[in-house]
Structure 1
């Protein structure tokens, strides 16, 4: 009976040692897996920090570009306003010159005569235009009609 008890105790002891050895092996494996996961986590955290930095840089750049676009838009608006004013002034000056230029009055009168159906000789006589100019006015009006 002592022998059977000793064998049972030895077997239990052997089983306990095997279980402890197996648990230690599992613990080492889990610790290795935990270390690998921690490394992956740290790498992911570094990538996240780098991505956040890049996003911040892009955001700052976009804000700068947006401000520059607004400045250019304002400058373009001013340029358009200035151009409109300049064109208006030029038109006014041109009209003033047309009203004061005697040759302009002659050509205006000649065009009206062409529109009213006057012939080439009549235009030359009334407006005192050379034949080439009268023909040019006459042909221009005929092309428009």
Structure 2
């Protein structure tokens, strides 16, 4: 009977090891499937990171272009402001350099202060027609 018991024990051990092998094989398959899924997720994340890096490079390039354009516009604006200042200075200088302009400026001031036509003609040496024109223009405004 010992032989039968030994055979039963061996059969039981063989069956238990077979079941244990099947369970281990099942765990291996589950782990392989999870590894494949993890690998797929890793590839997707890597592709997403690559796309993000490409988009970032494009955006940096576009920002550099915008920055360059803004600098150019700023330089042009400064040049225009300087040109406008020069023109204003030239205009102011011409206003004071032109003796006729000074005479008319003085005549307009006299009219604004209430001088009569005779006084404007005498002080500014203007003909009557010009003095009357200044008086009528000033009185309308």
TM-score range, shorter chain: 0.7 to 0.9
Q: 1:5 offset after TM fit, Å?
A: 1.3
Residue 81 of structure 2 corresponds to which residue in structure 1? 80
**Which residue number in structure 2 is paired with residue 91 of structure 1?**
92
Runs of 4+ in 1 over 6 A off after TM superposition: none
Residue 125 (1) aligns with residue 126 (2): no
| Residue correspondences, number | 130
Consecutive unaligned residues in structure 2, runs of 5 or more = 122-130
Within 2, Cα distance between the matches of 1:40 and 1:103? Answer: 87
Deviations along 1:56-79, whole A, 9 cap, x unmatched?
A: 111111011111111110111011
User: Structure 2: how far apart are the matches of 1:139 and 1:82?
Assistant: 35
Structure 1 position 109, deviation (Å): 3.4
CA shift in 2, pair 1:57/1:139, >3 Å: closer
**Cα RMSD after superposing both structures:** 2.2
TM-score (norm 1): 0.78
The equivalent of 2:64 in structure 1 is: 63
Question: 2:110 corresponds to which residue?
Answer: 109
- 1:3 offset after TM fit, Å? 1.0
Q: CA deviation at 1:139?
A: 7.7
Match of 2:100 in 1: 100
**1:54 correspondence with 2:55:** yes
Alignment match, 1:14? 15
- Displacement of 1:103: 4.0
